[in-house]
Chain A
Amino acid sequence: MKQVEIDDIVAFLREAATRMKEAADYLGQLDGEIGDGDHGYTMSRGFSAIVRALNEIDVQSHDMSTLFRSCAESFLEAVGATPGPLYASGLIAAGDFAGNRSALDADEALMLLVAISDGIGARGKAIAGDKTMMDVWLPVVQTIKNLRQENAPLEVILSEIRASASRGVESTRSMVAMRGRAARLGGRSLGHIDPGAASAAILIESFANTLEQRAL
């Protein structure tokens, strides 16, 4: 089985940063409907900070744990508010999962997503149906766990992950926001996609795309 190495993780984070930048306006629009409209800018700024950090350090001297940790710190420094601590916690959890290794089996690399989700979940404590990014992360994690148990081939898992993420995004339309600023809208948040869910899907797609290109 192919390995996912430090370079591949860097490629994933760069891809994510590019996609966040492209989607900044769209995410901002979604956020403008139920929040304060800065989510696109926030996510884009956070991932740009990660890319800047990756440019400055010698990535080859890092293992997975220190790489993810320095990404978490750059993200956190650039982004306060709510996404900062959430994604920083997710990235740190991914680093803790991979530990001092510098490569993972491609199949095991999927568990990085599970670790990110667990990290975010433990920090934010949102549950399914709260209309948050967890409404994307939780079904994606479930898909990974189920398909890995069935020994499904990697390409199948990757395409199912993408499908599950985009279903997750859509599912937030019918939810009433329970957390964060959108919660003050109550029922008026219905019909709107949660911007945090939309950006989570972009991150997950970037991961799936990178693995597809580099590890299949």
Chain B
Amino acid sequence: MPPKKRLSAARPEKTGAEPELVMPLRFGNDPLLWASWLYYEEGMTQGDIARTIGVSRATVISYLADARTRGLVNISIETEHLKTLSISKALKEHFGLRDCLVIPGEGGDRSLIDRLGAAGAQVLQGILRSGDTVGVGWGRTVLASAQALNIDNLQDVRVIQATGTTSSHVPFTPAACATKMAAAIRAECVPISAPAIVSSPELRDILTSEQLVKEQLASLDQLNCIVFGIASLRPNSTLHSSGFFHDDPKLRDAYSTAVGAIAGRYINERGKLVKGPLEDRTIGITLDQLARVKQRIAIAGGTDKVPAILATLHGGYVNILITDATTGLGILSADGKTGSIRPEKTVTEPAESIKRTRVKKFLNEPEDAVDESLEGAVLEYAQYLKPARKSNRALVAQDGPRAGKVGLVIGGGAGHDPYFYGYVGKGLADAVAIGNIFASPPPMPILECTRAANGGAGVVYLFGNYSGDILNFEMAAEMAKREGIDVRTVITTDDIASSRKEDRESRRGVAGNVFVFKIAGAACDQMLPIERVEELARKANRETYTVGVALEPCSMPETRRPTFLIGENEMEVGVGVHGEPGIARQPLVSANDTADIMVDRILAEMAPERGDEVALLVNSLGATPMMELLIIARRVRQRLKARNVQVARSWTGSYCTSLDMSGVSISMMKLDAELKALLDHPCNAASFQIR
């Protein structure tokens, strides 16, 4: 993609320009402006302009030059492209490459593989010459390059498959890549008529001494160009999915120092060959052979590939690299090279807002914030809760646990007030364990809650899907089980923006938890057995959908600085309750449009039928006032009405916050008769009552 000029410099053929001679008024008697306009906007040639305004061509040239010096004409290159240029220059210099092509990190609808493939095709177009012998590796990007390439004016080009073949349950096998590439450039294709990996070194020796295979492999010594991909050893890499690397613990041990693979050979972080049991069973180009090829083109992108690409660069196996801006920048910073690259100028972190002064807060000693606020909560909400033992980090409902009732224990990090203490009371949670700000409580307070909530019918743990919470609740559950308490765990995952639908289990738990607490608490209060409580909590979680949008980040008491930055005219759609990035950083839009973005996503996943009922929660992330929440809530209701979805019950206010984050989240739980009855069951807690 060529750099774009603000004034288009494309000059279509234009002949016979009519002499104007009288300068149109709009140019304000400035011949430089007139000439510039005709040249850059009208696309006329210098000769035509000379005739049009009645001066010599030499004068036109000097007009145009003066216009540039006087700043009348600015030629600008789009920021995104400028960034790719500076990254590719830095990569080229830092690693001593012959050349480097960096494509923009973001590319709209086209996948990274497709865009890298197109870039690979563009590079090959410029490099390949008649008579070349081209080695072709395999993988998604190599195949994408072959698919994007079409050259029909070369003669006597040969394409050599760089490795033996692999099983064909993926479309990008060595054979497919070589065949496609050969077809794209009208070349003769030389396959390797043997598997890439055989069962023993002896078999490899036998196969490679077969005349046909021997000749095919010998042609790998004649390559003057090779194009290949770089495999990462991450679990979802091509290498794993294509069965190249078996899921064999012995092999994994042998290759534990490998960070990547090229042409089926494993390399460590310095780019040295990792010798393992596969090495002597592999048929294909060796690393030494590869390093001798004059033009070594690697096409690879994606930040998970950074270690592998870096190793390939360190090993010197590539001298023409094609990657994307995000990966390129990652490679440079991973190799300790950051200084001379212009700081990545993204809209996400405008430099000026870094200078923002400390956020003002009502605090004494910042490290006492959590304990002091819990002290306040225990006093303020004494009618609902009390410490389980001595510490306010484990609070139990005044009117909750009772014999024969399943206990409900919730908890997590502080900073989400009135989460979680506001949901402790009759018909809701029996006890709550609270950690430090945004950090899980340790197992002991959770265990104290468990003991306090245990009425002999078992205890259900209910908390959001975060690694720290999972670990600590898991340990507490183990301890409780040793004490003979039956503990079940339900992890909430209502944040539909935190990962794809198919990946529901890895989603985070956010404000929609309130509904899950409510359903589980009601089930406990109705004295249902633990299996039912667990089942209903899971059902409530499954039916609950939340999307958040942040306008401003929150700031931690210790630092009093924003934990991340959102640009002046931006918002973060899909933000998490600790500032986790969401689906998109996008330009700020009106309240209605913001509500629509969120409702669209929720409805798309929830897919309610006409006449379905939902529970609705419009929640402030901390700093957003009621006025704005109600504007959003009004629009949400308009949308639901238009969809013929009934709002059975709704709440608007601060229910699950993120310190002082400015933003809103919308949660909906799709109701059936069972959930609706449980939702209507009375409850009485500091932040949530149904009478």
Residues of A within 8 A of B (CB): 36-37, 76-77, 79-82, 84-86, 88-89, 123-124, 127-129, 138-139, 142, 145, 167, 171, 173-176, 179-181, 184, 186-187, 190-191
Contacts and interface: CB of A to CB of B under 8 A. Distances in A.
Given A129-B234, A174-B307, A190-B330, A80 B581 contact: no
A173 B461 CA distance: 37
A126 B170 CA distance: 28
Contacts of A167: 269
B233 A80 contact: no
B471 to A, nearest CB: 4
Contact of B336 (A129, A186, A191): A191
Given A82-B467, A85-B443, A139-B257, A76 B475 contact: yes
B147 interface: no
Interface stretch (B138-146, B210-218, B431-439, B489-497): B431-439
A127 B240 CA distance: 15
Contacts of A76: 442-444, 475
B442 A80 contact: yes
A121 to B, nearest CB: 13
22 contacts: A37-B559, A76-B442, A76-B475, A77-B444, A80-B443, A81-B435, A82-B440, A85-B443, A85-B472, A85-B474, A88-B475, A123-B474, A124-B467, A139-B257, A142-B257, A145-B253, A174-B307, A174-B331, A175-B307, A176-B306, A180-B467, A184-B579
Contacts of A145: 253
Contacts of B114: none
Contact of A77 (B269, B326, B334, B442): B442
Interface string B567-583: 00000000010111100
B330 A139 contact: no
Given A129-B233, A174-B334, A80 B306 contact: no
Contact of B439 (A81, A123, A142, A173): A81
A73 to B, nearest CB: 9
A174 B235 CA distance: 17
A37 to B, nearest CB: 8
Interface residues of B, number: 49
B385 interface: no
A124 B438 CA distance: 19
A36 B413 CA distance: 14
A124 B336 CA distance: 29
A173 to B, nearest CB: 5
Nearest to B438: A36
A80 B558 CA distance: 18
A190 B471 contact: no
B475 A85 contact: yes
Given A36-B438, A85-B474, A171 B307 contact: yes
Nearest to A142: B256
Contact of A171 (B269, B335, B442, B556): B269
B468 interface: yes
Q: Top 8 closest A-B pairs, CB basis? A: A191-B333, A80-B442, A85-B471, A174-B334, A190-B330, A187-B303, A174-B307, A81-B439
Contacts of B338: 191
A190 B467 contact: no
A191 B329 CA distance: 10
A173 B259 CA distance: 13
B321 interface: no
Interface in B392-444: 435-436, 438-444
Contacts of B280: none
A6 B471 CA distance: 29
Nearest to B326: A187
Interface string B234-268: 11000000000000000001001101000000000
